[in-house]
A = this chain, B = another copy of it.
Amino acid sequence: MLELPMTKTRPKNYHHGDLREALIKAGRLILEEQGIAALTLRACARKAGVSHAAPQHHFATVAELLAEIAASGFEDFVAALDKGSANAPGPRERLKAMGRSYIAFAHANTAIYKLMFAAEVPLKSERLQFSMKAAWNQLVVAVAAVHGSENVEATAARVWSLVHGFSMLTTTRRLPPTVDQDDALEALLQQLD
Protein backbone atom coordinates (compact mmCIF):
# COMPACT_ATOMS: atom_id res chain seq x y z
CA MET A 1 0.00 0.00 0.00
CA LEU A 2 1.39 3.35 -0.94
CA GLU A 3 1.39 5.93 1.73
CA LEU A 4 -0.62 8.88 0.58
CA PRO A 5 1.01 12.21 1.31
CA MET A 6 -0.31 13.62 4.55
CA THR A 7 -1.26 16.89 2.97
CA LYS A 8 -4.22 18.94 4.04
CA THR A 9 -6.48 15.94 3.46
CA ARG A 10 -8.24 16.82 6.69
CA PRO A 11 -7.39 14.49 9.64
CA LYS A 12 -9.77 11.78 8.39
CA ASN A 13 -12.62 12.72 10.67
CA TYR A 14 -13.69 9.36 11.85
CA HIS A 15 -16.04 11.28 14.02
CA HIS A 16 -17.89 13.77 11.97
CA GLY A 17 -18.80 16.27 14.62
CA ASP A 18 -22.41 16.92 13.83
CA LEU A 19 -23.41 14.27 11.38
CA ARG A 20 -27.04 14.46 12.35
CA GLU A 21 -27.51 18.03 11.18
CA ALA A 22 -25.20 17.45 8.23
CA LEU A 23 -27.45 14.63 7.03
CA ILE A 24 -30.53 16.79 7.30
CA LYS A 25 -28.88 19.57 5.32
CA ALA A 26 -27.61 17.10 2.75
CA GLY A 27 -31.13 15.77 2.46
CA ARG A 28 -32.55 19.22 1.83
CA LEU A 29 -29.98 19.86 -0.87
CA ILE A 30 -30.65 16.57 -2.61
CA LEU A 31 -34.36 17.23 -2.37
CA GLU A 32 -34.25 20.52 -4.22
CA GLU A 33 -31.49 19.54 -6.61
CA GLN A 34 -32.66 16.09 -7.63
CA GLY A 35 -36.15 15.62 -6.28
CA ILE A 36 -37.75 13.24 -3.86
CA ALA A 37 -36.80 10.09 -5.76
CA ALA A 38 -33.10 10.77 -5.16
CA LEU A 39 -33.58 11.40 -1.46
CA THR A 40 -32.20 8.17 -0.02
CA LEU A 41 -30.30 7.40 3.14
CA ARG A 42 -27.24 6.38 1.18
CA ALA A 43 -27.32 9.52 -0.94
CA CYS A 44 -27.41 11.68 2.17
CA ALA A 45 -24.54 9.71 3.63
CA ARG A 46 -22.51 10.17 0.44
CA LYS A 47 -23.19 13.89 0.38
CA ALA A 48 -22.15 14.18 4.00
CA GLY A 49 -18.98 12.22 3.22
CA VAL A 50 -19.63 9.25 5.46
CA SER A 51 -20.22 5.56 4.90
CA HIS A 52 -23.61 4.22 3.91
CA ALA A 53 -24.42 2.89 7.37
CA ALA A 54 -23.28 5.93 9.32
CA PRO A 55 -26.78 7.44 9.52
CA GLN A 56 -28.01 4.38 11.39
CA HIS A 57 -26.76 5.78 14.66
CA HIS A 58 -28.72 9.02 14.27
CA PHE A 59 -31.79 7.78 12.44
CA ALA A 60 -33.14 4.30 12.99
CA THR A 61 -35.02 4.38 9.68
CA VAL A 62 -35.21 6.52 6.56
CA ALA A 63 -38.59 7.74 7.69
CA GLU A 64 -37.00 9.32 10.76
CA LEU A 65 -34.62 11.31 8.59
CA LEU A 66 -37.48 12.36 6.33
CA ALA A 67 -39.35 13.62 9.38
CA GLU A 68 -36.43 15.83 10.41
CA ILE A 69 -36.09 17.20 6.89
CA ALA A 70 -39.81 17.92 6.84
CA ALA A 71 -39.45 19.64 10.21
CA SER A 72 -36.73 21.90 8.90
CA GLY A 73 -39.06 22.64 6.02
CA PHE A 74 -41.80 23.70 8.43
CA GLU A 75 -39.36 26.02 10.17
CA ASP A 76 -38.57 27.80 6.91
CA PHE A 77 -42.25 27.75 6.10
CA VAL A 78 -43.24 29.55 9.28
CA ALA A 79 -40.48 32.10 8.73
CA ALA A 80 -41.64 32.72 5.16
CA LEU A 81 -45.23 33.30 6.20
CA ASP A 82 -44.12 35.59 8.98
CA LYS A 83 -41.94 37.61 6.67
CA GLY A 84 -44.53 37.68 3.91
CA SER A 85 -47.22 39.09 6.15
CA ALA A 86 -45.12 41.27 8.43
CA ASN A 87 -46.04 44.70 7.16
CA ALA A 88 -49.69 44.16 6.40
CA PRO A 89 -51.82 47.17 7.32
CA GLY A 90 -54.49 45.16 9.11
CA PRO A 91 -55.59 41.70 10.23
CA ARG A 92 -57.55 40.95 7.06
CA GLU A 93 -54.68 41.96 4.83
CA ARG A 94 -52.34 40.00 7.02
CA LEU A 95 -54.36 36.81 6.68
CA LYS A 96 -54.56 37.31 2.96
CA ALA A 97 -50.83 37.93 2.74
CA MET A 98 -50.24 34.71 4.64
CA GLY A 99 -52.38 32.89 2.14
CA ARG A 100 -50.35 34.30 -0.72
CA SER A 101 -47.09 33.47 1.02
CA TYR A 102 -48.32 29.95 1.69
CA ILE A 103 -49.03 29.31 -1.96
CA ALA A 104 -45.85 31.06 -3.04
CA PHE A 105 -43.82 28.85 -0.72
CA ALA A 106 -45.51 25.74 -2.05
CA HIS A 107 -44.66 26.67 -5.61
CA ALA A 108 -41.13 27.84 -4.91
CA ASN A 109 -40.26 24.79 -2.80
CA THR A 110 -42.42 22.08 -4.28
CA ALA A 111 -40.29 19.15 -3.25
CA ILE A 112 -40.00 19.89 0.44
CA TYR A 113 -43.54 21.22 0.59
CA LYS A 114 -44.86 17.88 -0.59
CA LEU A 115 -42.58 16.07 1.82
CA MET A 116 -43.89 18.21 4.68
CA PHE A 117 -47.38 16.88 4.01
CA ALA A 118 -46.49 13.43 2.81
CA ALA A 119 -48.34 10.59 4.48
CA GLU A 120 -45.23 8.46 4.84
CA VAL A 121 -43.36 10.77 7.20
CA PRO A 122 -43.99 9.70 10.79
CA LEU A 123 -45.20 12.39 13.15
CA LYS A 124 -43.32 11.19 16.21
CA SER A 125 -40.40 13.54 15.76
CA GLU A 126 -40.32 16.21 18.45
CA ARG A 127 -38.88 18.78 16.12
CA LEU A 128 -41.58 18.08 13.56
CA GLN A 129 -44.37 18.29 16.10
CA PHE A 130 -42.96 21.52 17.43
CA SER A 131 -42.60 23.22 14.05
CA MET A 132 -46.03 22.03 12.93
CA LYS A 133 -47.52 23.38 16.10
CA ALA A 134 -45.77 26.68 15.45
CA ALA A 135 -47.31 26.86 12.00
CA TRP A 136 -50.73 26.10 13.40
CA ASN A 137 -50.43 28.70 16.15
CA GLN A 138 -49.33 31.27 13.62
CA LEU A 139 -52.46 30.59 11.63
CA VAL A 140 -54.78 30.57 14.64
CA VAL A 141 -53.48 33.95 15.78
CA ALA A 142 -54.00 35.48 12.36
CA VAL A 143 -57.48 33.99 12.09
CA ALA A 144 -58.46 35.13 15.57
CA ALA A 145 -57.42 38.69 14.71
CA VAL A 146 -59.97 38.65 11.92
CA HIS A 147 -62.81 36.45 13.14
CA GLY A 148 -62.55 36.83 16.88
CA SER A 149 -61.81 34.01 19.23
CA GLU A 150 -65.03 32.01 19.00
CA ASN A 151 -64.74 28.89 16.91
CA VAL A 152 -61.21 29.90 15.99
CA GLU A 153 -59.94 26.40 15.49
CA ALA A 154 -62.73 25.35 13.18
CA THR A 155 -62.25 28.52 11.16
CA ALA A 156 -58.51 28.04 11.08
CA ALA A 157 -59.02 24.50 9.85
CA ARG A 158 -61.29 25.79 7.10
CA VAL A 159 -58.80 28.46 6.03
CA TRP A 160 -55.93 26.03 6.06
CA SER A 161 -57.93 23.49 4.07
CA LEU A 162 -58.70 26.06 1.42
CA VAL A 163 -55.15 27.28 0.93
CA HIS A 164 -53.54 23.87 1.32
CA GLY A 165 -55.95 22.25 -1.10
CA PHE A 166 -55.24 24.86 -3.72
CA SER A 167 -51.49 24.52 -3.24
CA MET A 168 -51.68 20.76 -3.55
CA LEU A 169 -53.95 20.71 -6.56
CA THR A 170 -51.84 23.24 -8.44
CA THR A 171 -48.41 21.86 -7.58
CA THR A 172 -49.49 18.35 -8.52
CA ARG A 173 -51.18 19.65 -11.68
CA ARG A 174 -54.61 18.35 -10.86
CA LEU A 175 -56.50 21.37 -12.14
CA PRO A 176 -57.30 21.31 -15.86
CA PRO A 177 -55.25 23.75 -17.95
CA THR A 178 -58.43 25.65 -18.80
CA VAL A 179 -58.56 26.97 -15.25
CA ASP A 180 -57.04 30.41 -14.81
CA GLN A 181 -55.05 29.91 -11.65
CA ASP A 182 -54.72 33.59 -10.89
CA ASP A 183 -58.49 34.02 -11.10
CA ALA A 184 -58.99 31.00 -8.90
CA LEU A 185 -56.44 32.31 -6.43
CA GLU A 186 -58.21 35.64 -6.13
CA ALA A 187 -61.60 33.99 -5.77
CA LEU A 188 -60.08 31.85 -3.09
CA LEU A 189 -58.51 34.62 -1.08
CA GLN A 190 -61.88 36.35 -0.90
CA GLN A 191 -63.06 33.54 1.31
CA LEU A 192 -60.46 34.06 4.00
CA ASP A 193 -62.48 36.74 5.66
Contact = CB atoms under 8 A, between A and B. Distances in A.
A175 B168 CA distance: 16
A166 B165 contact: yes
A158 interface: yes
A15 interface: no
A167 to B, nearest CB: 8
Nearest to A184: B157
Contacts of A175: 157, 160
A169 interface: yes
Interface string A1-26: 00000000000000000000000000
A59 interface: no
Interface residues of A, number: 43
B133 A157 contact: no
B151 A183 contact: yes
A180 B161 contact: no
Contacts of A161: 161-163, 165-166, 169, 184, 188
Contacts of A36: 119-120
A151 B175 CA distance: 15
A127 to B, nearest CB: 16
A105 interface: no
Contacts of A136: 176
A87 interface: no
A119 B111 CA distance: 10
Contacts of A178: 153
B179 A153 contact: yes
A50 B173 CA distance: 34
22 contacts: A37-B120, A114-B119, A133-B176, A153-B180, A154-B186, A157-B166, A157-B175, A157-B179, A157-B184, A158-B166, A158-B184, A158-B187, A158-B191, A160-B169, A160-B175, A161-B169, A161-B184, A161-B188, A163-B165, A164-B165, A165-B168, A191-B191
